[in-house]
Structure 1
Amino acid sequence: MSEEHIYEDPDILSELEDYQHVNYFQHNPLSNAKKTYDELKNVTLNIAITGESGVGKSTFVNAIRGLRDEDDGAAETGVTETTMKASRYNHPTMPNVYIWDLPGIGTPNFKAKKYLKEVHFDSYDFFIIIGSLRFKENDVMLAKEIKKTNKTFYFVRSKIDQDVHNETSKRKLTEEQVLSKIRQSCEENLKSLGNPKVFLISTFELGKYDFNDMVDSLANNLSEHKRSALIRSFPVCSLRMIEKKSLELKIAALPTALAACTPGAIPIPGVLLTCEFLIVQGFLHQSLSSFGLDKKSLKRLSERVNKPEVELRSMMKSRFAEGVNEDVVGGMMNKPGMNLAKCIESVLTHVPLLNVVAMPISFSTTLYLLLVGITEMTEDAKAFYGTVIQDVRTCNKSD
C-alpha cells in the first residue's frame, strides 16, 4: 500500500468514528483516557503453568513467550523434573507480563493438598494445568483446590502433534478421529469437575489446534487491561491472532494519543504536531514487538528458518522494516500536514463520546498516525505469516 493511499484510507477514518463503541470513555473521555493509558502501561499479568512432572510445562512456558527450548532466556527443560521451585520468566517484549513455571505436582516434594500454599497461589491471575497422555488424580485434586480459592484454572492437553502422528500412522485413524478420542478420554478423567473445557495444543504448532480458542477463553475472564496484555504478549501463530492483536492495539491507540497530547506537551522542532514524542515512539515500538517484527524477534526467526535477516526484512512493505526510530516517527508526523489534521478533527467531532472540539488538533493527527502504523504492521504480519510460517513448522518438525 503506497504512502499516499494509506493517508487517504477511508477505513482508518471509519475506525475513528467507531470509537464511540469503546464504553470506558463514556463519562469523562479525557481523564478516563489518561487513566486508561497509565493502567495499560503498568498493568501486570501473572500466568501460572502447572501440572505433573514431565508433561511439558517448561516447553509450554517457552512457546507462549515465542521462544524455543534452546533459545537464550528459555525455561530449562528435560526428561526429569527440572523445576524444583516456582520460577518466574519475564516476557521478552512485555515487561509486566510474567510466566511462572511451577514445580511438578505429585512429586515427593509437592503433594497436591499442600501444593497451592507452597507455590503462593494468590500471586497468579490464573492457572493453566497441563497434562499429557491423560489427566490424573493429582490434576483433579489441584483443580478442586484452586476452585476453592475462587481462582480460574484451565486444562491443556499437550503434545497433541505427537499423538496425531502416532495414531494416524499406526492405526490408520484420521486426525479428526484422534482428536475426538483424546477429548473423550479427557472428559472421562475430569468428569468429577463437571467436564471442564480441555484445550488440545501442540507447542510446536500453536496455531493449529485449540490455542486460539484457549486465548479467547483466557481473555474473556480477565479485566480489559489484563486482556490487552495477554493478547499483545502471546506470539503470532495464526491470522486470527494477528487480527486480535490489531484490534487490541487500535483500542489502546486512543488513550495513548491523548496521553501524548496533554496541554504540557512540548512542540517538536520541524514537526507539525505538539505531542510527547517518546510516548508515540514507545507505543509504535511495542506494537511492532507484539507482531513479532522487532529486531530481536527477526533475529530469532532468522536463526530458526536459516534465512538472512535482510531477506526477512525485505518482506516488510511498511516503513518499519528497520524498526521504530526517530526518523521514521518524525517522518510520519510531518507527512499528513494541517489539512489532514483538520479533516480528522471534523470526523471526530461527530463521535459523541470523544467531544474533541476543545482538544488540540495534534490529538486528532496523532491518533490517526498510530492507527496508520498499526495498519501497516498488521499487513506486514499477515505477509510474514503467509510466507514464513511454513518454514517455521518445517524446522520445528525436523528438530
Structure 2
Amino acid sequence: MGAVLASVKHDLTNDTAAAVEKIQRYSKEPNNIPLKIAITGESKSGKSTFVSALRGIKSIGDEDEGAAPTGVVETTSEVTEYLHPNYPNVTLWDLPGIGTTKFPAKKYLELVGFENFDVFIIVSADRFRENDVKLAKEIQKMKKKFYFVRSKIDNNIRDEERKRDFSKEGTLRKIRDDSVQGLQKEGFESPQVFLVSSFEPHIYEFSELQQTLERELPAHQSDALLRAMSNINQEISNKKKDFQSTIKYYSTLSAAGAAVPVPELSVNVDYSMMLSVVTDYVTGFGLDKQSLKKLAASSGVSYDDLCAVIKSELAKIPAEFFMETFISVQGKAGKVSRNSFLFVTAASMSLSFKTTYFTLSYFLNQLADDAQRVFNRALGVNISV
C-alpha cells in the first residue's frame, strides 16, 4: 500500500490527471487478479456439468445461458475457457477427456498445456482410473495443487436407495473409503477427495471443495476465488466478510486522492471508488438481481420473498440513492460536506483514510447482514424482517 501511495504522489508533482487515472485504475486491481482452474478427467466423467456448477450456472440442458455443453458423448473436443459470469478474472478451463483418440494419454499434458493453469481438479464419475492417476502424478511433479472429485453422487445415492439396508451416510462413507484407499495404493499418501453433485451443489461436499481451494490457494488468488464463490452455505457467506481486508487498500487510495490539490476531487474520487466497491460487495454476497433469481429457482423461495428480507437500500445501488447514503455516512464519520475543499496536508489525508475506512466498513456490515437474512430465508428459517 505504501508503494501505491508513493506512485500516486510521484505523479502529483508532474501530472494531476495521471495521478487521478492511477487512483481509479488501482481501485479496480483487486478484481483483476487472474485465477485459472483446470477441470480434467476421463471422457464422460461430468466435467462440463461440474464447470457450470462452479460458475453458478446450470447445465445447457436446463437452458442457462453460458453453460458448458454436456451430452452422452464426449462434448469437449478442445481446451475451452469459461469466464465466471460476475468475475471474468476467474476462469475455468474445461479440458478434453484424457484417453480419447484426439487426446491420447501419452501426449495429453503437452496437448492441453498443463503448465498454464494454477490449480487442477480431476473429475471421475466412479473410481479413479489409471489415466487419472497418471495426470495427478504429473501435476504433482509440477508442484501444483490438485484435487480429486467424485461426481454424480446423486446418481450413486439413487441407485443405492433401492436396497433394503440403504443408509445414505453409509453409502457416502463407502464411496469415500473406496476412492481414498484406491488412490493410496497408487502412492498418494493423503489424497483430497470430494463427493459432489453438480446438479445439487448445496448438498454433499461441493462447498467443502470451494472452501479448501480458498484456504490453500495463495492469498491473492484466494481473495479472487472467494469473490466468485456462490453462497451455497452460511460458512461461505460468513467468509465473505473477509472483504474487510481490502478496506485498508481502498482507504489508502482515498488518502491519495485527498493529496491531489483540486477542489472536490477527493470527494468525487471517493464516490466513484465506493460505488464500484459496494457494487462488488453486492455481487459478492449474492444480492444482485441475477444471483437472487438463481437462488429463488434453486431454493423454491420466490424472488420477491428473498428481496423482502433485504433491509439495506444499498443492494439496489441506484446512483442517486448511493450519493445520498454516501454523504450521510461520510458525515457521521466526521468528513465535511461534499462541496468542501480539503487542503493538501497530512491531516486531510489522514481524515480521508479514516472516513473511507468507516464508510466501507459500515456498508460491508449492512450487506453482510442482508446476505445472512437472504440465506436464512432460502433455507426456510424464520426471521424478522
Please give the TM-score of this superposition, normalised by the length of structure 2.
Answer: 0.81
Matched, 1:140 2:133: yes
2:39 aligned residue: 49
Amino acid at match of 1:256: Y
Distance 1:126 1:266, change over 3 A: farther
Instruction: Tell me, in whole angstroms, the C-alpha distance in 2 between the residues paired with 1:36 and 1:225.
Output: 15
Q: In 2, are the aligned partners of 1:158 and 1:201 still within 8 Å (CA)?
A: yes
2:217 aligned residue: 222
Q: In 2, are the aligned partners of 1:154 and 1:197 still within 8 Å (CA)?
A: yes
Q: 1:21-55 CA deviation, whole Å, 9 max, x = no partner?
A: xxxx6x87955998986652321011101111111
1:9 aligned residue: none
1:202 aligned residue: 197
Distance 1:32 1:168, change over 3 A: farther
Distance 1:55 1:360, change over 3 A: same
Instruction: Tell me, in whole angstroms, the C-alpha distance in 2 between the residues paired with 1:51 and 1:115.
Output: 11
Distance 1:379 1:150, change over 3 A: same
2:363 aligned residue: 373
Distance 1:254 1:304, change over 3 A: same
1:317 aligned residue: 311
Q: CA deviation at 1:117?
A: 0.9
1:117 aligned residue: 110
SS in 2 for 1:170: coil
Q: In 2, are the aligned partners of 1:316 and 1:380 still within 8 Å (CA)?
A: yes
Amino acid at match of 2:246: A
Q: 1:139-186 CA deviation, whole Å, 9 max, x = no partner?
A: 001111111222221111112233233324424332221111011110
Pick aligned residue for 1:251 from 245, 269, 276: 245
1:80 aligned residue: 73
Please give the TM-score of this superposition, normalised by the length of structure 1.
Answer: 0.79
Taking only the aligned residue pairs, the percentage that are identical comes to: 37
SS in 1 for 2:37: strand
- For structure 2, the residue ranges without an aligned partner over 5 or more in a row are 9-22, 336-345
Q: CA deviation at 1:317?
A: 1.2
Q: In 2, are the aligned partners of 1:260 and 1:277 still within 8 Å (CA)?
A: no
Q: CA deviation at 1:260?
A: 3.5
Q: CA deviation at 1:197?
A: 1.4
Matched, 1:66 2:60: no
Amino acid at match of 1:361: L
Instruction: Tell me, in whole angstroms, the C-alpha distance in 2 between the residues paired with 1:208 and 1:31.
Output: 48
SS in 1 for 2:78: coil
Amino acid at match of 2:117: Y
The alignment of Structure 1 onto Structure 2 pairs a total of residues equal to 349
Distance 1:266 1:375, change over 3 A: farther
SS in 2 for 1:173: coil
Instruction: Tell me, in whole angstroms, the C-alpha distance in 2 between the residues paired with 1:357 and 1:186.
Output: 61
Pick aligned residue for 2:123 from 92, 109, 130: 130
Q: 1:278-333 CA deviation, whole Å, 9 max, x = no partner?
A: 221111111111111112323444555677644432221111342x2322321222
Q: CA deviation at 1:365?
A: 1.7
1:95 aligned residue: 88
Matched, 1:161 2:151: no
Q: 1:182-241 CA deviation, whole Å, 9 max, x = no partner?
A: 111102321212341111122233233223332333223322111000111011100000
Q: In 1, are the aligned partners of 2:125 and 2:150 still within 8 Å (CA)?
A: yes
Pick aligned residue for 1:290 from 284, 289, 296: 284
Q: In 2, are the aligned partners of 1:341 and 1:364 still within 8 Å (CA)?
A: no
1:364 aligned residue: 354
Instruction: Tell me, in whole angstroms, the C-alpha distance in 1 between the residues paired with 2:122 and 2:226.
Output: 19
Distance 1:337 1:233, change over 3 A: closer
Q: In 2, are the aligned partners of 1:168 and 1:178 still within 8 Å (CA)?
A: no
Q: 1:114-155 CA deviation, whole Å, 9 max, x = no partner?
A: 111111112110110011121111100111111122222111
Instruction: Tell me, in whole angstroms, the C-alpha distance in 1 between the residues paired with 2:235 and 2:171.
Output: 24
Instruction: Tell me, in whole angstroms, the C-alpha distance in 1 between the residues paired with 2:151 and 2:377.
Output: 27
Distance 1:171 1:55, change over 3 A: farther
- For structure 1, the residue ranges without an aligned partner over 5 or more in a row are 1-24, 343-355, 392-399
Instruction: Tell me, in whole angstroms, the C-alpha distance in 1 between the residues paired with 2:114 and 2:144.
Output: 9
> How do 1:272-291 residues align onto structure 2 when only pairs under 5 Å count?
273=267, 275-291=269-285
Q: CA deviation at 1:384?
A: 1.5
Amino acid at match of 2:58: R
Q: In 1, are the aligned partners of 2:237 and 2:285 still within 8 Å (CA)?
A: yes
Instruction: Tell me, in whole angstroms, the C-alpha distance in 2 between the residues paired with 1:111 and 1:197.
Output: 26
* Bigger RCO (CA 8 Å, 6+ sep): 1
Range 359-368 or range 235-244, more displaced: 359-368
CA RMSD, 1 decimal: 2.9
